[in-house]
Amino acid sequence: MRHFAEHGYQGARVEDVARELGIAKGSVFQHFGSKAGLFLAAYKRAVSSLPAWLDAPAEVVDRGFWAVLVYWLERTEHLIREDWIPYRVSLIGNYGTDLSLKRDINRWLVSEDPYGTLDFVEFGVARGEVRSDVEVEVTASMLDWLAERFQDALVTEELDPGLFHRHPHQPQRRQARIEQFAELLRSAIGTRPA
Amino acid sequence: MRHFAEHGYQGARVEDVARELGIAKGSVFQHFGSKAGLFLAAYKRAVSSLPAWLDAPAEVVDRGFWAVLVYWLERTEHLIREDWIPYRVSLIGNYGTDLSLKRDINRWLVSEDPYGTLDFVEFGVARGEVRSDVEVEVTASMLDWLAERFQDALVTEELDPGLFHRHPHQPQRRQARIEQFAELLRSAIGTRPA
DNA sequence: ATTCGATCTGACCGAAGGTCACAATACAAC
DNA sequence: GTTGTATTGTGACCTTCGGTCAGATCGAAT
């Protein structure tokens, strides 16, 4: 994980990873089959170590779906500074490998749902905070896509369409963006006010 | 473009591209500097060849923002079948290269806005069909992200099953998906009914 | 025809993913 | 402890492919 996080997928060399682990290059291929297999294992570990939506503190969860959403949006930057390696690996897996590996990654994401997005959406629907007139899967996909992309933009200039990094050092703007984003999301998938 | 579309980024070999063009490998590097440079050029061409939002037929544009949106959502599948190469190249650029190349791609997308998303959103705001209580950039980013992702899902359904979808391809649900997607988007960024 | 810069060429290089015959180790049976 | 077998580890070697460069070729100006 660390090596991929530091060097990217292409930039990471299997032999270096092996040397750091004190084993021979051949052993890495013995265990993981290929560089892609090695990365996939690292990716799964990285993503599994990240918090799921409903892992927010109990008092936040008690306040409901939207409190949890805003909690994580605001918390992302913090988490990344504390523990940037899994985020970086996840970013690389999402955008920086190749399509066949991306397919394996996606299959895994769909089957494992490591962030518990489906649970989270169902939690929101059960509380009457998320609309139920659209299939849960569609809502969950939308939340997945947008939250992932928004976090990625928040975190890295590589994927930022100018939202956060165009004007450096404007924390109040960042906060405004988070609020606007949550507002758009609330409008999209929240229950309509009567 | 064709070669990248058929083989992916990693799978495309510069020498093969050169041979197909009837020139020497060295010449490719002369012109484009590197494989990444070659791909970037192909990517720009591919995306530039795709229609912008407001390139929809005049009578559709006359019917407003949401008519244009639905027009393109429904038309995408057609376009992809007629002319899959640029879509595939765009997909590869979005997910299948590496982060440093992705950075260049993103810079270009932000500076060129090849789909004219900002124009399109401003068009919608001017007609009172898109909300104006949120910064245009945020709205445009959201539209960009979702439309891109939606399109990718359609492309990969045809070209690379299992890459994006929670569910296997179900043609009869296609229309429903498009409608739900448009509905979510309308809720998110449309003007609120009074 | 000559000159000279721009462009093209392909043999060559080096890096890195991947292989495999052999070595080392672990473990079971006696 | 010894022997036999299976599992795991090793690193020299192979192949592929992005990238380089010295020389060849082209083309416009004189």
Q: Is the pLDDT of residue B154 over 80?
A: no
Determine whether the distance from the CB of B34 to the nearest atom of strand D is below 7 Å. yes
From A31's Cα to the closest Cα of chain B, the distance in A is 23
**Which residues, listed in sequence order, are joined to residue B130 by a DSSP beta bridge?**
B190
Query: Per-residue DSSP letters for A81-97?
Result: HH-HHHHHHHHHHHHBS
Task: Summarize pLDDT for A24-83 with one digit per residue, the tens.
Answer: 999 999 999 999 999 999 999 999 999 999 999 999 999 999 999 999 999 988 888 888
pLDDT value, residue B20? 92
**Residue percentage of chain A with pLDDT more than 70:** 98
Say if the Cβ atoms of A138 and B180 lie within 8 Å. Answer: yes
pLDDT tens sequence across A90-102: 999 999 898 999 9
Where on strand D do bases come within 7 A of a protein Cβ?
A: 8-12, 16-22
Q: Give the model's confidence band at B173: pLDDT under 50 very low, under 70 low, under 90 confident, else very high.
A: confident
Contacts of A139 in chain B (CB under 8 A): 184
Classify residue B109 as exposed, middle or buried by CB count within 10 Å of its CB (0-12, 13-18, 19+). Answer: buried
Please give the pLDDT value at position B164. Answer: 64
pLDDT at position A168: 67
How close, in Å, is residue B53 to chain A by CA atoms? 18
Angstrom distances, CA of residue A107 to CA of A102, B47, B161, B163: 9, 27, 10, 7
Nucleotide nearest to A13 (CA to C1'): C16
Q: Which of A26-40, A145-159, A172-186 has the highest mean pLDDT?
A: A26-40
State both tokens at B133.
């209580």
Q: Residues of B with CB below 8 A from A144's CB? A: none
Q: How far is A154 from A76, CA to CA, in rounded Å? A: 8
Which residues are within 8 A (CB) of A22 and not within 5 positions of it... i.e. 6 or more apart?
none
Token readout for B12 is 């495309």
Nearest CA among A94, A28, A116, A61 for reference residue B145: A94
Q: Domains in chain A, start-ordered, CATH in brackets?
A: 51-189 (1.10.357)
Whether residue B194 is predicted with pLDDT greater than 70 in this model: the reply is no
The answer to whether B194 and A189 are in contact (CB under 8 A) is no
Query: Facing residues of B96 across strands?
Result: A96
Count of C-beta atoms within a 10 Å radius of residue B151: 21
pLDDT digits (tens, 9 = 90+) for B61-111: 999 999 999 999 889 888 888 889 999 999 999 998 999 999 999 999 999
Provide the b/e sequence for A122-139 (b: ≥16 CB within 10 Å).
bbbbeeebbbeebeebbb
Chain B hits for A157, Cβ within 8 Å = 103
Q: Is the CB of residue B23 inside 7 Å of nucleic acid strand C? A: yes
| Sequence-separated (6 or more) residues with CB below 8 Å from residue B62 | none
